[in-house]
Structure 1
Amino acid sequence: MTTDLKAQADQLRRLHHGPEMLVLPNVWDAASAEIVAGAGYPAVATASAAISAMLGYPDGEGAPWREMFAAAGRVARAVPVPVTVDAEAGYGLQPRELVDRLLEIGVVGCNLEDSDHRSGGLVDPGAQAERLAAIRAASEDAGVPIVINARTDGFLPRSGVAEPERVAEAVRRGRRYLEAGADCVYPIGVGDEHDIAALVTELPGPVNSNTRPGGPDLARLRELGVARVSYGPRFYRQALADLKTAVELLRP
């Protein structure tokens, strides 16, 4: 099993380096994962906000990690492609335990964010870099170099980072995270094309971005050099909106 997981981790890592941009329509259960994999996507990613909502909990580590990992495990068992899980801030798990739990459910990648869900704001970048380095070391020791997507949350209003400082702060944090062993940097919430271009230029590694109304589309993100695009809970919310419309049409 370790050999298979290592091959999947290596494959997922290669997908971050082209030649095609890695597009990940995030999933929340086995059925949605099968749809994405069946459509030909080379990897599957979960969305923590969607899974926690499906389970009846608020986002931001509001759901017990065991329930979140059980749901992610069902996703991984449902598809033949590499799976990366949104592990939020790591649920307070120690690095080796986090790695072991991810591998136990058949997952070979994870998002790890630098928001502090307990006190608000952002985790100290040095402390976050140390944690990422420890997770990298633990995964190497386990024989499966999991793909770490280091999310940095300075573009989110709750972060407390002033708007003029957000690009510089994302670059400062992203560089430290890449040096610590992260494979990709995810400055969530950035939508301005010039900011995205600056991040791609200044960060010495792959950058994860999003599409959003009024912002650059997939074609433009490719031109800007973005390596990975994810959608968070967007498709989960759209599915619920479609259900709401459908059931309302049934009422007399």
Structure 2
Amino acid sequence: MSSSRLFRELHEQSQPLLIANCWDPLSALVIEQSGAHAVATTSWGMSNHQGLVDGEQLTFEQVYNVVKAILKVINIPLSVDIEAGYSLSHNEIINNVLALATLGVAGINIEDKPSSANALRGIEEHTTLLKTLKNALRDHGFADFFINARCDLCFQENWHTPQLLTRAKAYQEAGADCFFIPGLTDPAVLKELAQAMTIPINVMVLPQFCDLEQFKHLGIKRVSTGNALSDHLLTQLELSAEAINHSQNLSFLFENTVQTRFISA
């Protein structure tokens, strides 16, 4: 079974698919060895771990090289966060996605708000991109490739539920395989959205929005940690670095033992 087909089936379970987001080969390997059935990259984490802020500061070539390295060390399906596509050109975006599909990536997460813009792409423009992308993938033999259509509406001011439902249904009709709505935490709206859609709904964990049983009750099929795991580890690194430079005892560095089984061992 292809990784894309397996990844697709993971969205059809009774329990929500929990995705821990990685940013490099080591983080992906650790996540896989923890028992994960699939993994996805976080553009935020990938950017931060290269000393950059999120928002397409990385080039697609940089992302491609990290993804290529990740695929060399894991065996579970990998989805890639391509932000808004790393281009304003639809043709370039499609070529970027085809390059990832050719590598063996199972799917992508693509946003409807370019990093250089303050507003979302118009519905017509974004649905045209999704349709064209879906057709291109099918034409190149990647019919099962999984498109997670991220909608950033809830990060905009003065949005309302009818707007959300309109975009969600439009993205679904354009060929999206999953609808990702980070920032939305209202249970009533999430339940209405899940009931209105035939494709899976993906949410992102946030403070006070981390209850997997609640997500299942609302009909959510996929839950992403987003940048939370990366940020959590970065704060631990900051605290450790601070302790190294200001402590008289460094025994804390040896409190735990690395458990990861490296593939070159």
Corresponding residue number in structure 2 for 1:56: 51
- Provide structure 2 residue ranges, at least 5 long, that are not aligned to the other structure: 248-265
Q: Is the radius of gyration larger for structure 1 or structure 2?
A: 2
Matched, 1:228 2:222: yes
Matched, 1:194 2:188: yes
Other structure's SS at 1:213 match: coil
Q: Is the 8 A contact 2:108 2:147 kept in 1?
A: yes
Other structure's SS at 1:85 match: strand
Q: Is the 8 A contact 1:170 1:187 kept in 2?
A: no
Alignment of 1:153-192 (within 5 A): 153-156=152-155, 159-160=156-157, 162-163=158-159, 165=160, 167-192=161-186
Matched, 1:11 2:6: yes
Matched, 1:73 2:68: yes
The letter for the 2-side match of 1:110 is I
Which range moves more in the overlay, 125-134 or 102-111?
Answer: 102-111
User: Are the structure 2 counterparts of residues 56 and 41 from structure 1 closer, same or farther at C-alpha, using a change threshold of 3 Å?
Assistant: same
- Separation in structure 2 between the aligned mates of residue 54 and residue 117 of structure 1, nearest angstrom: 19
Deviations 1:123-168 (A, max 9, x none): 0011101101111111111112210000011100xx34x14x1x22
- Separation in structure 2 between the aligned mates of residue 48 and residue 210 of structure 1, nearest angstrom: 14
**TM-score, reference length from structure 1:** 0.91
The letter for the 1-side match of 2:101 is L
Q: Is the 8 A contact 1:96 1:135 kept in 2?
A: yes
The letter for the 2-side match of 1:19 is S
Other structure's SS at 2:153 match: coil
- Separation in structure 1 between the aligned mates of residue 218 and residue 39 of structure 2, nearest angstrom: 23
Matched, 1:238 2:239: no
How many residues align? The count is 242
Of the candidates 201, 207, 214, which is equivalent to residue 207 of structure 1? Answer: 201
Which range moves more in the overlay, 123-132 or 191-200?
Answer: 191-200
Other structure's SS at 2:119 match: coil
Deviations 1:162-189 (A, max 9, x none): 14x1x22221111111111110000111
Other structure's SS at 2:223 match: strand
Of the candidates 109, 112, 115, which is equivalent to residue 113 of structure 2? Answer: 115
Q: Is the 8 A contact 1:151 1:186 kept in 2?
A: yes
- Separation in structure 1 between the aligned mates of residue 117 and residue 111 of structure 2, nearest angstrom: 14
CA deviation after TM superposition for structure 1 residue 117, in Å:
2.1
Alignment of 1:126-137 (within 5 A): 126-137=124-135
